[in-house]
Structures are given as structure tokens and as C-alpha cells.
Amino acid sequence: MLKNMKIKKGLMLGFSIVIVLSIILVAFSMVSMMNMRSEYELLMEEDVEANQDILYCRVRALIPGRNIRDALLIPDSDANDGLIEEAEQYLVELEEGLVSLEEHFPYQLDKEILYAYQEKVRAWAANAPKIIEMYRNYRSTGDEAYLKEAEDFIYETDTPMQTEMGTAAVELDNYLVEGMKEERQRIEDSIATTMIIIIAVSVAAVVVSIIFALVLIKSITAPTEEVRKALVGFSEGKLDIPVSFESKNELGEMCQALRNSQNILGDVIGDLNARRGQIQGMEAMAGTQRVNAFVPLAQMFGYATDLRSKTQGRGQYVMEPSHYEPVPKNIADQIIAGRTKG
């Protein structure tokens, strides 16, 4: 039905808009979910790496402290040189671990607690070489005053600093756990919000599509119904059925053509009535409308010209004798009066 109609462009445009909106919605959903997935994976990766770095730093701080204490407990042991070298190596690796921890620390979290932990660790690490130097002075001189000084330093300075460092490590670890929990919840909330938005937009798109379809259907069915009623009226000889739809598409052209036909046919029938014709009916024949009527022969002079004028040169008529009828009294009086004067 709509094969050659301009209105199919409206249908194609409407369905194209729906398809494009659907594609955009699907693309937006996929991109949003992929971004959230990437963010979640990155968060988990940072969480694991940061926890590993914290453990790494705690081990690199624990072993040097233990080795130094072991060397001071048995100051003349031949194994102490290896313990001290290992402690110094671990102090170097401790600084590397602090740098790695800062790089891997989740960017979403506040780094104030991280900086506090780094400050305490570096402060302790700066004092460790002092104890090692005291021990080496003892080994080179044999003066036990160096051992006493190292032991006092450990008791008064090193041990409290290690305690503070351990407390800071626990606080940082707890903060990381809670922070990751909050971030995971935030991402889950974002996913839920995105899903709600997607569902809402999907529902809105469906509603808009339905409304558009209903409007479009109405724009087709309403004028089609007018045309149907008018055509049925044509077949019954009713020419006063209104056809009000106007548009530049084919339906509008059909309605306009039908109005023109109503006007032309109305003029033709009106002219036949004026000629004292008796309309017997109308019928559609091969794309034309045929009007059957009885008209007095005396009224048919000049009818061909009048018919062409009223139908824009397209009307034709066929006339044949049918029967005789009495002349109406008013016409008969006129005829008698004319003959009497004659």
C-alpha cells in the first residue's frame, strides 16, 4: 500500500530514529559497563599491589632490626658480618619498597596516612646505620663503650621508633582495607545507578516509539477513513461527506482529488437538477463515475458544452430516448401561453 507513497519516508525516518537511539543506548551501556569493569579491575590490582608493598616494607624493616639486635647480642660472632651486610641490603630495598608503595597506592584514597607511614619508616631507617656504625666501631677497637652506646640507642630511640612504625603500618593497612571497601561500594552504586538510567532510557525510548507509532498510524488511518466514507458515499450518491485532511503527501493528494471530484460531480448533478433531471443513481466504471438520470429532451440543448466546462473537458455523456412523461403544470402553462400569443 505504501510502496509509492511519500509517507513511507516518515515511517523509515521514525524507525531509523528508533534504531539509532537503540544503537546509541546499547553502545552507551557497553562503554559504561566496560569503563566500570576497568575501574573495578584497576582498583583490585592497586589494592593487591599496595598490600604487597606494605608487607614488603614491613619485612624489610623487621629483618634489619632483628639482624642488628642479633649482632649486638653476640658481638664477637663471625656470622655478624653477614647479618650486618644483609641488614644494609634490606635498608636499601626498604626505600625501594616505599617508592613502589606510593606508586601503587590507590589514587582514589587520601595519601595523608601513607605519607605519615613513609615518614616514620624513613626516620627509623636513617637511624639504623648509626647503630651499625657503633657496632663496627666496637669490632674495630674492642671498646665496649660502643656496645653500651648502641644498646642505649636501641632501647631509648630505635625500639620506640619501631613501635611507632608498626602502629603506622597497621593504621595504613586498616585505612587501605576500609578505603577499598568504600571504593568498591561506590563502583557498585555507580553500576546500579547506570543500570537504572539505562532501564529508564530504554522505557522512555519504548514509550516514545509507541507514541510515534500511534501518531503515525493515526495520521494514516484518519484520512484513509475519510476517503473510505467519501467513496462509499459516492457509490450511494452522497456528495456532501466532508474530506478535511490536507497534506503534501499522497494521502493529502488523494483527499484533494476526492474533494475536486465531489465538487465537479456536485456541479454536474446540480446542472442536471437545474435541467429538471431525475437522478437515478451513480456507479463507478473503469476509473470514472457514471451518473444515470432522466432529463427532458428540451433541456439538453447545449449540454455538451456545459458538461465540458464543468468537468474541465473530461466529461462525456450518452443520450438515448427513454419514455414520455406529462410536462409539469408550470412548464405547460408557459408553453400554452407562448402558443396563444403566437
Contact 279, 326 (CB under 8 A): no
Q: What does the pLDDT profile of the chain (342 residues) look like in tens digits?
A: 444 455 556 666 666 776 777 788 777 777 777 777 777 676 677 778 888 888 999 998 999 999 999 998 898 898 999 999 999 999 999 999 999 999 988 888 889 999 999 999 999 999 999 999 999 999 899 899 998 999 999 999 999 999 999 999 999 989 888 888 887 787 778 778 878 887 887 788 778 778 877 776 776 677 777 777 766 666 666 666 776 666 666 666 666 766 767 677 777 778 888 888 888 777 766 667 778 888 888 788 888 788 788 777 777 888 888 888 888 878 777 778 777 765
Which H or E run includes 7? helix 7-73
Contact 144, 22 (CB under 8 A): no
* Residue 17: predicted pLDDT: 74
* Residue 4: predicted pLDDT: 45
Contact 168, 116 (CB under 8 A): yes
Pseudo-torsion of CA 19, 20, 25, 29, nearest 10°?
A: 100
The DSSP letter of residue 317 is -
* Residue 1: predicted pLDDT: 44
* Residue 145: predicted pLDDT: 93
The DSSP letter of residue 326 is P
Contacts 24+ apart (CB under 8 A), 138-142: 138/75, 139/75, 139/80
Separation CA 146–CA 131 (nearest Å): 9
* Residue 285: predicted pLDDT: 67
Contact 90, 128 (CB under 8 A): no
Q: How many helices (H) and strands (E) does the chain have?
A: 8, 2
46-60 exposure pattern, b = at least 16 Cβ within 10 A, e = fewer: bbebbbebbebbbeb
